[in-house]
Copies of this chain bind each other. A is one copy, B any other.
């Protein structure tokens, strides 16, 4: 591609920017070139992101591993840790670190003064696209989930979630204080970072393995949703501790009440809303008669989830769960699939692109202390979630290993804890690095781990089926 672009770099630039929709052209205060250049940057970033997702996904698929692992690794390759094609300001990268900005500067002849603003805008656009991706993913997971099946496993999922928050939090905090002599508040922060489960990664792997609708899959998804809510409450407690040294009890009560009311209210009201949705969709005559009303509902729920200080993805999941009950589900599912195919990879690739693996390098002396603490945190992160599989009662045939492993990935939620801790000055550099290492490793371990856990089950079932036939030599 460079050979095509090179001669243009030296070509005298036109005195105007591209007439592409003319957006920022009409604004006199914005640099005349920024709109089309932002578009060019987004297009180039999407090409790189899609290439990384497909190359990575196909390689892991051919190795019989979940494709999402390949998308995460593809993201690492194009991200801040390696090629630096797609980097984000929140990892500390500047426009000068972005290879795509270098290409744009080269072909666009931009003045260096405009670059930081263009880089910031482009990063924000990609971040919103990634967030729309995870919103669509959770909407799709909600559509594919069965509300009745989820209600059946409700108690088990709640128990798995509570144990999966309490054990890592308690053991992590105590261990950090006793073994590493970390002061109380940073230790609580480290413990809190161990609590969350990445609902996006775990549900995507379950979907890829065809296990989303299995009993284990529904327990994991249900527990991950409850875990997300618990994680938000833990975060509220820890953040107010870090800021004022006290717990804002009012906030905690508000969060618990609003989260419960939101999820239960959405499902309850949804049963009535269902019929009006089908009636509206079938009365519309223009293109997108099904998918646009569905997205309006999903985005309203995501917006409400966002503004009441829960997560947008919880709203999208609830919306999907509600529409799951409608007759039009199959057609909608098919259309949402195409949309998910183009938006969801942006989310996973950018999660990988934001993972800064340089904290894993033991050659850097300041990393070593972090790596020692990280080893401890990783151990607790894995064991503390693995035990959750064994608290499921009343169902002895359930795959406990799969449930435990399904709760392991911390993903983006864990990084939020590290980010808030660093921003508030509570976390030391080694402790922050340790949390990031823990998040990266648990995120990358879960997809092959789940694959392994369900493979073992499939083999055991095959053996179990083979035995009666073998014992009956008629």
Give A contacts to B, CB under 8 Å: 1, 4-5, 8, 11-12, 14-16, 18-30, 32, 35-36, 38-40, 42-44, 46-47, 50-51, 53-54, 57-58, 61-62, 67, 88-91, 107-108, 121, 124-125, 127-128, 130-132, 134-135, 231-232, 235-236, 239-240, 243-244, 248, 250-251, 254, 284-288, 291-293, 295-296, 299-300, 302-304, 306-313, 334-339, 341-342, 345, 412-413, 415-416, 418-420, 422-423
Contact = CB atoms under 8 A, between A and B. Distances in A.
B342 A291 contact: yes
A108 B5 CA distance: 44
A22 B90 CA distance: 9
Nearest to A244: B15
A299 B46 contact: yes
A44 B250 CA distance: 28
Given A36-B312, A39-B128, 13 more contacts: A8-B308, A12-B248, A14-B251, A14-B309, A15-B239, A15-B243, A25-B420, A27-B89, A38-B124, A39-B306, A47-B296, A58-B284, A67-B286
Given A125-B125, A302-B43, A292 B19 contact: no
13 contacts: A8-B307, A18-B306, A21-B134, A21-B412, A22-B419, A24-B127, A35-B124, A38-B128, A39-B306, A43-B312, A58-B285, A61-B286, A288-B341
Contacts of A345: 288, 292
Contacts of A339: 338-339, 342
A26 to B, nearest CB: 4
Nearest to A67: B286
A299 B312 CA distance: 28
A23 B54 contact: no
A17 to B, nearest CB: 9
Nearest to A415: B22
- For A39, A302, A313, which residue has the most chain B Cβ atoms within 10 angstroms? A39
A119 to B, nearest CB: 12
A124 B125 contact: yes
A427 to B, nearest CB: 12
Given A26-B419, A251-B14, A303-B40, A286 B19 contact: no
Given A28-B423, A312-B39, A61 B285 contact: yes
A235 to B, nearest CB: 6
Given A21-B131, A47-B300, A235 B306 contact: no
Contact of A19 (B15, B91, B231): B231
Contact of A306 (B43, B89, B128, B420): B43
A15 B308 CA distance: 14
A100 B63 CA distance: 48
Given A26-B90, A26-B423, A28-B423, A62 B285 contact: yes
**Nearest 5 CB-CB pairings of A with B:** A288-B341, A22-B416, A26-B419, A26-B90, A19-B416
A291 B295 CA distance: 20
Given A40-B307, A124-B38, A19 B288 contact: no
Contacts of A50: 292, 295-296, 299
Contacts of A307: 5, 8, 40, 107-108
Given A38-B128, A286-B58, A345-B288, A91 B338 contact: no
Contact of A248 (B1, B15, B46, B419): B15
Contacts of A334: 338
B287 A67 contact: yes
A184 B46 CA distance: 44
